[in-house]
Structure 1
Amino acid sequence: MNVYTPSRLHRAALAVALPVIAAGALVACSDPATRPPLSVPASAAPVASAGTPATETHMINNNGHELAFYVTPGHSPAIVLDAGGGEDHTQWKDLVPQLSAATGSEIITYDRAGMGASDEVKGAWDVHAAVSDLRAGLTGLGVTEKMILVAHSQAGEVATYLVRENPGLVSGAVLVDASLPQFSTDEQIARVVAAGTAQIAASRSQPSTQQSRQLIATAQNYGPAHRAYHQVAWPDSVPATVIVSEKTPFDGSPQDAQHWRDAAAEFVKAGPGRTLVTAVGSSHEIPQDQPDLVRAEIEKMVAAHG
């Protein structure tokens, strides 16, 4: 097996993060029409570009913790952008005004628990809790059907469970170098766990940071969680465009990188209404490396299924 550098392993581990089986209960928040936007630190708030509607920040309570959602007003369908592991809403900061101008749609980004302005939740990263958080936010913001979902990396797992558990909520998805069920074979799970063991141990022995806590949370229950995820199928009723990077989160490990690309191709072949797009020359960070490609595919999905 190729040796991962710490930064590469951190990104790879977060990219294929945990779908733990225990589901959290959804807690709807108050009526968005009567709930004023909450002020957040200037560093956390998106900045509107000239000609773009001002972005509003809302704090949504779910299961006792607060989550920051950022809304650029517009019409339906809403476009919801879900950032990759270790990222907050600012991953999409350049795309938001461009999508708003091009589509006129409402644009929603947010910070998952423990990221950005959202509260941290202790324990293993739980995809079902993450789905509950996103669903609670969307419900509180009045988004109940036919949205367009864009998910990068780890958010692919959130997207998969969200569309399965909420028929009619998502009318189309763009999965940007996303973690997909086909990737998590027993052999691949063993390779990821083996590659990460030393760094997880090192992270536990060092002073706690947000990054180390994220990595440790991702590693907990990794094997059982991903064996469960491998059995999950994307619904045939929801069309999806998969954008796969050439380098993948496993750049430097050709075997793992090829398996990541093969998993994307297998996902596309497994159901109707699916399209595979390769981001030639791109790293795993496609939203930053090739934002025009991501925007174009989102606009196509809006036009076809919005």
Structure 2
Amino acid sequence: MSRTTPNRRSVNRVLSALALLAVTAGAVTACGDHDSASTHTSASSVTSSASPGADKAGATSLHMIDNGGHRLAFHVTQGHGSTIVLDSGGGNDSSYWKDLVPKLHAATGATVITYDRAGLGKSDVVPGPWKVESAVSDLKAGLQQLGATRNVTLVSHSQAGEIATYFAEQNPKTLSGAVLVDANLPPLFTDEETARLLAFDQPEVDAAKKDPDTPQNRQLISTAESFAATSKAYYKATWPDSVPATVIVSEKTPFDGSPADAQHWRDAASSFVKDGPHRTLVTAEGSSHEVPKDRPALVLREIESMVAAHH
């Protein structure tokens, strides 16, 4: 199934290929950017509730979750019934979703969770190459310790699509559905395409190494170090048939300056949708890779639809 929507804002700038995996150009936000009055809660105090936290509905609280010796920041806007988890693309912390969270909460009444992946926002840095297995473990640990183990709608942008795929494979009963927003999907990562992405972005990686301590550059470098092996494995990953998925694909794609790569991106989304049941393809006409910024109403609508249909 395919739907189209009218254009609202043109693409901001051409994004480089590997950058979509590790840092979204022009959209990286400063760490923090959350209400300073947020409540800090230890992991041990939030493990027992059926839905995350025990805070007043509509209030956002910060929960620091320990996983394997490092701490991760999970931001919980308490609701009732179901849970929506928003996972940002590479290089972006949880504040990427700050404009969407209150709208989602108001529209659905659900608990809304955002979080900072390791090395971003308020979460601890984990040295070494980026490992999707570690990222999946971090997400799972946070949701388990927050009590969000059922009726979860996972919303994943860009690089977070990889995390979503492996999380869904391993924890299908946790998810009632997913909305994959211009996300990295397995069919994209053929050996040929992976080699193209690596070659295209080597100059950007080299430039990042000259200033390796910023969160964005650090993640770009760590992603590049593991990119070939990670991509080869991800190409073979499968999405469970039991988890419904809506795939929103941008018209411009991350490769607006490369027609061949842009077509491959769109073909990967189409192939993913055709490969299993309960999958819907939605095209965000006129949008750049930054669909949550370019077309927030579209993203909000598709999340609402997924929550309503599968809870």
Determine if the TM-score, normalized by the shorter chain, exceeds 0.5.
yes
CA drift at 1:197: 1.8
| Residues 1:227 and 2:235 aligned together | no
Q: Which amino acid counterpart does residue 219 of structure 1 have in structure 2? A: A
TM (normalized to structure 1)? Answer: 0.86
Return 5+ residue gaps in structure 1 as ranges.
17-27, 38-50
**More displaced 10-residue stretch of structure 1: 283-292 or 140-149:** 140-149
Query: Are the equivalent residues in 1 in contact too, given 2:43–2:63 (CA < 8 A)?
Result: no
Matches of residues 262-273 of structure 1 in structure 2 within 5 Å?
Answer: 262-273=267-278
Moved over 4 A (4+): none
Q: Which amino acid counterpart does residue 100 of structure 1 have in structure 2? A: H
| Residues 1:120 and 2:125 aligned together | yes
CA drift at 1:293: 0.2
Q: Deviations over 1:158-206 (max 9, x none)?
A: 0000011113000100000000000000110010011122222232234
Matches of residues 1-306 of structure 1 in structure 2 within 5 Å?
Answer: 8-9=16-17, 11-14=19-22, 29-32=43-46, 53-206=58-211, 208-306=213-311
Q: Deviations over 1:253-273 (max 9, x none)?
A: 111011001000000000000
SS of 1:244's equivalent in the other structure is strand
| Separation in structure 2 between the aligned mates of residue 7 and residue 256 of structure 1, nearest angstrom | 12
SS of 1:80's equivalent in the other structure is strand
Q: Deviations over 1:47-97 (max 9, x none)?
A: xxxx97110111001111110101111112100111111111111111111
Query: Are the equivalent residues in 1 in contact too, given 2:157–2:182 (CA < 8 A)?
Result: yes
Q: How many residues align?
A: 277
Q: Which amino acid counterpart does residue 121 of structure 1 have in structure 2? A: V
| Separation in structure 2 between the aligned mates of residue 187 and residue 253 of structure 1, nearest angstrom | 15
SS of 2:81's equivalent in the other structure is strand
| Separation in structure 2 between the aligned mates of residue 181 and residue 8 of structure 1, nearest angstrom | 19
Query: Are the equivalent residues in 2 in contact too, given 1:15–1:249 (CA < 8 A)?
Result: no
CA drift at 1:211: 1.8
Q: Deviations over 1:111-158 (max 9, x none)?
A: 111111111111111111001101111011111112111000000000
| Separation in structure 2 between the aligned mates of residue 119 and residue 239 of structure 1, nearest angstrom | 32
SS of 2:16's equivalent in the other structure is helix
Query: Are the equivalent residues in 1 in contact too, given 2:132–2:163 (CA < 8 A)?
Result: yes
| Separation in structure 2 between the aligned mates of residue 239 and residue 100 of structure 1, nearest angstrom | 21
SS of 1:121's equivalent in the other structure is coil
CA drift at 1:209: 2.1
CA-atom RMSD in angstroms: 2.2
| Separation in structure 2 between the aligned mates of residue 207 and residue 151 of structure 1, nearest angstrom | 26
| Separation in structure 1 between the aligned mates of residue 48 and residue 270 of structure 2, nearest angstrom | 45
Q: Which amino acid counterpart does residue 53 of structure 1 have in structure 2? A: G
Identity %: 58
Return 5+ residue gaps in structure 2 as ranges.
1-12, 25-41
Equivalent in the alignment of 2:34: none
Equivalent in the alignment of 2:29: none
SS of 1:115's equivalent in the other structure is coil
SS of 1:71's equivalent in the other structure is strand
CA drift at 1:29: 4.2
Change (3 A) 1:61 1:268: same
Query: Are the equivalent residues in 2 in contact too, given 1:15–1:178 (CA < 8 A)?
Result: no
Change (3 A) 1:6 1:264: closer
CA drift at 1:279: 0.3
Q: Deviations over 1:9-45 (max 9, x none)?
A: 45334279xxxxxxxxxxx94240689x9xxxxxxxx
Query: Are the equivalent residues in 1 in contact too, given 2:180–2:246 (CA < 8 A)?
Result: yes
Equivalent in the alignment of 2:33: none
Q: Which amino acid counterpart does residue 270 of structure 1 have in structure 2? A: D
